[in-house]
Structure 1
């Protein structure tokens, strides 16, 4: 049974409150695990079934019917760090032989942070600290399952450790919060460990909004594409861009109008991809 997951607000920065508990934010994708009458189904947060993609998770069984909320994570075998691109490789695999191969070379872990139903009881109207207590007592079915650790009150201290380890961020949750199905709630707040970069804006989309970002490549200083900025640009910034861009046009193609690389911007992002692209860039400000 799919349960639409509770969603998070974004906090402006790290915070510490005694009525909150704090967890590391895992860089993977949201997963609802549902076991009913010994039948297991796995769902993304958007109700896309992905049971086939993760046989090491879907093949496991608890001793009772259960619904869990958590994150699918994958560890890069070379660096030992949680790697989002590896998770996407697993999620996007469709052929049975490819899924079987990847489950051996890129195994996933289901990192559980909430329990929604257990032994026939709906737990969503119980406070979080009670759900956590039930979760901590679960016997996990295999080594591909884990329960997220948490601390109480010390959100800023945990965030410092997350930054030092170059992890994704921290989630703060009110201890007595109920599980608000399908809603974004201030009772759960995320603090992202953003990475920042300075880029050149070298083109803009003809249809829809998007600025092509570029960065210097190696010692030559020649610019190479690094992604498209679509988020964080205010109407005032768009107006300023429209005032300058026509003077910088040097050509166009089917999708973009290309500009002389005179405009620079600061962006924040989750991290750099393995291919050297900005992951989920958000415009912050122009660099003068």
Structure 2
């Protein structure tokens, strides 16, 4: 059975509060695992069944009548979650990447919904259900210490942290301040090289000595910044094709992004401010 997962609010900075627990935010794919009638079913957060993609999770030892929430990840050679490796495994049955289901919550236990219980009690249930093994593990957590935890995340180039109210209920299909994510964004200065026709998107480049290196498309920009762009870029147009309008690289901006992809592109770049 599918359960629509609880969603997270976003915050720019971590905080210290003993009323919250702190967990590592894992860079993978959200997964709901359900076992009823001794059959395991796997679903993405958008209710796409993906059971056949991960046969190793159909053999894990958990009791019947269980629904778990977690993140499925693939680690790189340093043991860090690698989203690109995860997507390779997700998209191709020929991929040899080994997956691990990192579980952080339980929604059904022994066939009964436990979403109404405080998070700490659900964590206790989870501890009794999951024995860490090759393909499944429990997500570790601490009381408070959000700032120090986030510092460690930044030092190690990980995705971020999650603050969760220790007494929070599991709010199915809702976004709540009880669960808050803090992303470890990187920042860089870039130039705008063009605009996509149709759906909004800006071509970005990074200045490197005597050339500009293309680093992908930015799709996130606030309305005021878009207005400023539209008032400036028309005089800078150099050419266009079926998909893009190209401009002189004279408009500079600061952007935030998750990380560089293996192809050298910015992952999910987002506008911060103009710098020229």
TM-score bin (small chain): over 0.9
The answer to whether the 8 A contact 1:28-1:84 is kept is yes
Q: What's the offset of the Cα at 1:199? A: 1.1
1:170/1:139 CA distance change after superposition, 3 Å = closer
Corresponding position of 1:87: 86
1:88-113 CA distances to partner (integer Å, 9 max, x unpaired)?
A: 011112x5xx1xxx3xx310000000
> TM-score, with normalisation over the residues of structure 2?
0.96
Q: Distance in 2 between matches of 1:134 and 1:193?
A: 30
- d(CA) in 1 for partners of 2:197 and 2:262? 28
Question: How does 1:78-227 map onto structure 2 within 5 Å?
Answer: 79-93=78-92, 95=93, 98=94, 102=95, 105-140=96-131, 142-216=133-207, 221-227=210-216
- Spell out, residue by residue over 1:188-245, the C-alpha distance to the aligned partner (whole angstroms, 9 max, x if none): 000001011111100012213111111245x5x32232111111x2222111111110
Is contact 2:12-2:183 (8 Å) kept? no
1:283 aligns with 2:271: yes
| Residues 80 and 142 (structure 1), Cα distance of their counterparts in 2 relative to 1, 3 Å cut | closer
Q: What count of residue pairs does the alignment treat as equivalent? A: 276
Unaligned segments of structure 2, at least 5 residues? none
Q: Take 1:46 and 1:197, find their aligned partners in 2: how far apart are those partners?
A: 32
| Match 2:219 to one of 215, 230, 236 | 230
CA distance in 2, matches of 1:162, 1:168: 7
Question: Would you say the 8 A contact 2:41–2:51 is kept in 1?
Answer: yes
Contact residue 209 and residue 230 of structure 1 kept, 8 A: yes
Q: Secondary structure at the match of 1:14?
A: coil
**What is the distance in 2 between the residues matched to 1:24 and 1:173?**
11
Residues 101-132 of structure 1: per-residue CA shift (max 9 Å, x gap): x3xx3100000000111112211011101000
Residues in 2 aligned to 1:35 and 1:250: alpha-carbon distance in whole angstroms? 58
